[in-house]
Amino acid sequence: MADMSRRVKAAGGLKPSSIQCNASMSTGELNTAVSKAKRIDSECAPGFESAKDVFASRDARALEDAKTVLNAKKDVAG
């Protein structure tokens, strides 16, 4: 969890600035917006990976707990 906090802090928080694209924007402005979006995406990627790790760990723990409860019920029934 501390690793995830460090990565979020390094990325500048969880809410990146918004990027708007309008039909009236020039090609240069649109390319600038694309570059900004790619930069934000690359900055946030480590945080997304940390979040996936946290959820995977949580899910593995929940599965292990469910198996333990199931085995205990089987022992009582058997």
pTM: 0.46
pLDDT in tens, 1-11: 566 667 666 66
* pLDDT at residue 33, rounded to an integer: 92
Query: First CA to last CA across the chain, in angstroms?
Result: 40
Q: How far is Cα 16 from Cα 45, in angstroms, rounded to an integer? A: 12
pLDDT band at 19, cuts 50/70/90? confident
- Between the alpha carbon of residue 7 and those of residues 32, 39, 42, 48, 57, the distances in Å are 25, 15, 12, 9, 18
Structure tokens at 10: 């390094």
